[in-house]
Amino acid sequence: MDQLQADRIKYESILKSVSKPGRYSGGEFGQIIKNKDDVKARWAFCFPDTYEIGMSNLGVRILYGALNNEPDIWCERVYAPWDDMEAQMRQNGIKLCALESSDPLTAFDIIGFTLQYEMSYTNVVNMIDLAGLPHFAKDRDDSMPIIIGGGPCAYNAEPVADFFDCFSIGEGEEMLVEFTKLYISMKEDGTYTKQAFLRRAVKEVPGTYVPSFYDVKYNEDGTIKAYTPVYDDVPKKVTKRIISDMDKAYFPDKVVLPYIEAVHDRIMLEVFRGCIRGCRFCQAGMIYRPVREKSADVLNEQARCLFENTGYEEISLTSLSISDYTELESLTDKLLQWTDENMVSLSLPSLRIDSFSKRLMEKVASVRSSSLTFAPEAGTQRLRDVINKNVTEDDLMRAVNVAFDAGKNIVKLYFMQGLPTETEQDLEGIAQLAQSVVKAYFANPNRNRKQKPTVTISVSCFIPKPFTPFQWEPQDTIEVLEQKQKLIGSKITDRCVRYTHHDARVSRIEAVLARGDRRLCQALELAQKKGFSFDAWDERFDYDKWIAVLEECGIDPAFYANRRFGEDEVLPWDVIDCGVSKEFFLREKHKAYGEDTTPSCREKCSGCGANKLGGERSCCPRMHKA
């Protein structure tokens, strides 16, 4: 018996002693198994959180399918093991392995991490450690796998830059295949070394960012002086990749069906990418530009295919703002022709207040009855204008009355506190707006008189994110954030209103990681050595320990979270071109302080610069027919 077989037997034996062994067993319906002799490159696709969360991620499903769609590439899945499993692995000397083959990550050619949220960074380092690989890219030789990162957090990859060989910037369906094909060709012709491969990748595979190819110098005050390419043929900025034609984009017609319940056990139908709105705090609305839609016919066909292959009883139409889809009425009509008779429900999770209608309500209610969620984001019109939300209180009252007319009595409202220019009046307005919704319910003659309303307000802390007009803004201090949370709570007196808020301490660390630079890598490695993992989970996060780690590394968290960045300052993410110009972000920042709004892309082009990436199909021709 060889060592690999012995490790597999040992691995299977420890599954009996951990909770939820289905997280680690593999063998699910729909998983992709290939003959190792038939493939030329093996991928281990890592999601740095639990199986249940990772299995719900649409991006993972798409990239898993796109890579496996190539006959000579085999992509397998890896998730972060929970505490009990990690303890057993370390105790028994078992390395982190993939679900499909149970092979250790050291047996793979390429290890990919999707970086969906900053608080998963400690899991990334921990998974590299569990794989038995050196943490830092500089310490991994040519015999070891290439480690590549991607996802929204890769737009500022600097806090984790030293752990990765490279990053995929933008949409990966085409880029990762090209990247792997180059790897295969260099392996076959004998020219492969990691350095040589990365040198060619930055030139031949657009969207490839190699941190080690850029020298970073700092000013005496700690700000960045310059990013300088170490080779003449390395681009000064890495431009993101996008898929121009969504109708022709790869779509997984079969997905892996989990044995245990995932967070989202449903069909996720990606309707379009990008956003026509310009909320000044929203990173996703900027980095995913330009808008590119799928046609209703293509979406209906894809939904039907997934239903037949999975048997899921719910279809969630996913996008940043589903009600901005120009063919939404046509799509829902097409779906309802077959979903009703098959008892399949439709979910529209990202409805805007100003686009919600009785007609749409009736279509959704015909197959599903549930609460509704809206996001006013701010309590006063003044602050909504500052953040460019472009919705009014009248829009909200109209939307909730449509819901109350239909017999619904549960409404959830999302807000943010700590926004630039915020005043006490803006915070009090959150409670007042919730109270107005309660009053609207009792004033509605068609309400459900057997039930009282429940209005839940969920208030998160503002986090200045890269590639937004507010990327230069400071976050409020912990003390101020917590004072504001108490103020909002003190203004809520109606039992029909429930108030929840995010932990301000988590938001502060997230701000540090969101706006950080490469000097944070040493702190993340130290955090992993001290046992940090699953910091996105409330029960695992320890603010005091985080502060202690930062202090031990000589890092002042206020420098990243609570400092106003200079408009002329070199930002850690300036090495990346997200398609939207810094000039546009500055214009929008200045307009915010003037309480001046910018119309949606459908009404008027704001000149953000993203059109240049999409060619003839940029911003989607269908958008301009409306």
In a domain, 112, yes or no: yes
Structurally, the chain folds into a number of domains equal to 2
- Do residues 101 and 183 share a domain? yes
- Evaluate whether residue 481 is within a structural domain: no
Looking at the structure, do residues 52 and 121 belong to the same domain, yes or no? yes
Rounded CA gap, 218 and 474, in Å?
Answer: 20
Question: Burial letters for 569-598: b for 16+ Cβ neighbours within 10 Å, e otherwise?
Answer: bbbbbbbbbbbbeeebbebbbebbeeeebb
pLDDT 10s digits, 142-177: 999 999 999 999 999 999 999 999 999 999 999 999
* H helices present in 231-327, as ranges: 284-287, 296-310
Positive/negative CA dihedral, 399, 404, 407, 413: positive
Q: Read off the CATH number of the domain in which 8 is found.
A: 3.40.50.280
What is the arithmetic mean of pLDDT over 578-592?
97
**Is the model's pLDDT at 246 over the cut of 50?**
yes
Q: What is the mean pLDDT of residues 66-88?
A: 96
Q: Which residues contact 64 (CB under 8 A, 6 or more apart)?
A: 32, 45, 75, 77, 252, 256
pLDDT at 39 over 50: yes
Judgement on whether residues 215 and 106 belong to the same structural domain of the protein: yes
Is the domain of 77 the same as that of 184? Answer: yes
Q: Is residue 91 part of a domain?
A: yes
Residues 65, 160: one domain? yes
In this prediction, residue 2 carries a pLDDT of 65
Report, as an integer, the average pLDDT of 331-335: 91
Judge whether 532 lies within some domain. Answer: no
Please tell me the predicted confidence (pLDDT) of residue 522.
Answer: 98
pLDDT band at residue 354, thresholds of 50, 70 and 90? confident
**Same domain assignment for residues 57 and 130:** yes
On whether residue 298 sits in a domain, the answer given is yes
Domain assignment present for residue 86? The answer is yes
Q: With bands split at pLDDT 50, 70 and 90, how would you rate the model's confidence at 366?
A: very low
Residue 626 clears pLDDT 50, i.e. is over it: no
Q: How far apart are the C-alpha atoms of 197 and 108, rounded to whole Å? A: 16
Are 483 and 450 within 8 A, CB to CB? no
Q: Are 295 and 232 within one domain? A: no
pLDDT at 623: 44
Regarding whether 135 and 17 lie in a shared domain, the answer is yes
Of 204, 239, 274, the position where a domain reaches its end is 239
Average pLDDT over residues 113-131: 97
Mean pLDDT of the chain: 92
Q: What is the pLDDT of residue 315?
A: 86
Q: What is the mean pLDDT of residues 408-434?
A: 95
Examine the domain organization and report whether 128 and 60 are in the same domain: yes
Output the pLDDT for position 616: 45
pLDDT exceeds 60 at position 367: no
113 has a pLDDT exceeding 60? yes
pLDDT higher at 619 or 474: 474
State whether 217 and 353 are in the same domain: no
Q: What's the confidence (pLDDT) of residue 568?
A: 96
Q: What is the pLDDT of residues 514-543, one digit of tens each?
A: 999 999 999 999 999 999 999 999 999 999
Q: Quick one: pLDDT at residue 625?
A: 41
Domain match, 84 and 189 both: yes
Q: According to the model, what pLDDT value does residue 258 have?
A: 86
Whether the predicted pLDDT of 600 surpasses 80: yes
Query: Mind giving me the DSSP string for 539-592?
Result: TT--HHHHHHHHHHTT--HHHHHTSPPPTTSBPTTTTEE-SS-HHHHHHHHHHH
For residue range 451-499, list pLDDT tens digits in order: 899 999 999 999 999 999 999 999 999 999 999 999 999 999 999 999 9
Structural domain contains residue 98: yes
Lowest-pLDDT choice from 35-39, 406-410, 596-600 = 406-410
CA 333 – CA 315 distance, rounded (Å): 14
Q: Reply yes or no on whether the pLDDT at 394 is more than 90.
A: yes
Per-residue pLDDT at 208: 98
Is 205 inside a domain boundary? yes
For 179, the domain range is 3-239
Quick check: helix, strand or coil at residue 267? strand
- The domain boundary, picked from 197, 221, 239, lies at 239
- Going by pLDDT thresholds of 50, 70 and 90, the confidence category of residue 370 is low
Q: Does 474 sit behind a cis peptide bond, omega within 30 degrees of 0 on the bond before it?
A: no
Q: How far is CA 186 from CA 140, 161, 197, 198, 348, in A?
A: 19, 25, 7, 11, 46
pLDDT of residue 188: 97
Domain boundary among the residues 239, 254, 284 is at 239
Task: Considering only residues 615 and 424, tell me which one the structure prediction assigns the higher pLDDT.
Answer: 424
Give me the pLDDT at residue 624, please: 42
pLDDT higher than 90, residue 15: no
At 602, which CATH number?
3.30.750.210
Nearest Cα residue to 269 out of 197, 198, 209, 346: 346
Same domain, 180 and 300: no
The answer to whether residue 564 scores a pLDDT higher than 50 is: yes
The percentage of the chain sitting over the pLDDT mark of 70, rounded to a whole number, equals: 95
